[in-house]
Amino acid sequence: ESAILAGCLNHPTLAARFEDRLERMTFVCPDLGEICDALLSSLPDCLSDGIGSGSLRDAVSSRTGRDPMEAIAAVGQVRANPHLGPDARPDGAATAIEEELTRHAASTGWLAEVREAEQDLAGEADEGVTWRLRQAAEAAHGANLKPLSAGDSSAGSESELSARLQSMLD
C-alpha cells in the first residue's frame, strides 16, 4: 500500500491513470487509506494547475495535517524501489505501480477468501473450502513470486485476476 501511494504521490499523472483502481482499493492500514482519499481528492486540482508532485504532496499534507511521505518512506520496500521515487522514469514508475496494485488485489482477495473460509469452517468443513483456500493462496503466491513485468503471462491483468478471485468467491 505504501509503495502504491509513493509512486502515485511522486507521479501525479500516473495517479490519474490508476485513479479507478485506487478508488476501489481497500486499505489494511487506515492511515494509508486516509492518505489515498486525500490524494484522490487533491488530484484533479493539482493536474489542472499543471503542477507536479510537490503540489500534490502539499495538497495531501494540507488535507491530512501531516506529510504523507514521512509514513510512506518509513517502509523499506518503498525506499529500496528506485522506480517509485520522484526522479524515476514514468514508464518504470507505471510498471512498479501496476505490479503493486496487482499484488495488493491478489493479497486482499486471498484475505477475503480466508475470512469466508473461517465462517464456513464454523459449520461443516468440506473439500470445497480446502480447494478454495488453495486456489486463493496460489493466486496470491503467483502475484508475489516474481515481477509481473518479467513476462509472466499466467499472472494476467488485474481484471483477469479479479475475475478468477470472484469466481473462487462465488
87 three-state secondary structure:
coil
**Residue 146, all three cell numbers:** 516474481
pLDDT digits (tens, 9 = 90+) for 113-138: 777 877 766 666 567 767 777 777 77
Give the per-residue pLDDT at 93. Answer: 95
CA–CA gap between residue 93 and residue 111 (Å, rounded):
27
pLDDT digits (tens, 9 = 90+) for 50-62: 656 678 999 999 9
Mean predicted confidence (pLDDT) in 155-170? 66
* Residue/partner pairs of 47-52 with CB below 8 Å, 24 or more apart: 47/12, 47/13, 47/16, 52/12
Average pLDDT, rounded, for the chain: 82
**Residue 36, all three cell numbers:** 489515498
**Residue 128, all three cell numbers:** 470445497
Q: Which amino acid is at 61?
A: S
Q: Residues in the chain, how many?
A: 170
Element at 158 (helix H, strand E): helix 158-169
Whether 5 has a pLDDT exceeding 80, the answer reads yes
C-alpha closest to that of 75 among 141, 143, 7: 7
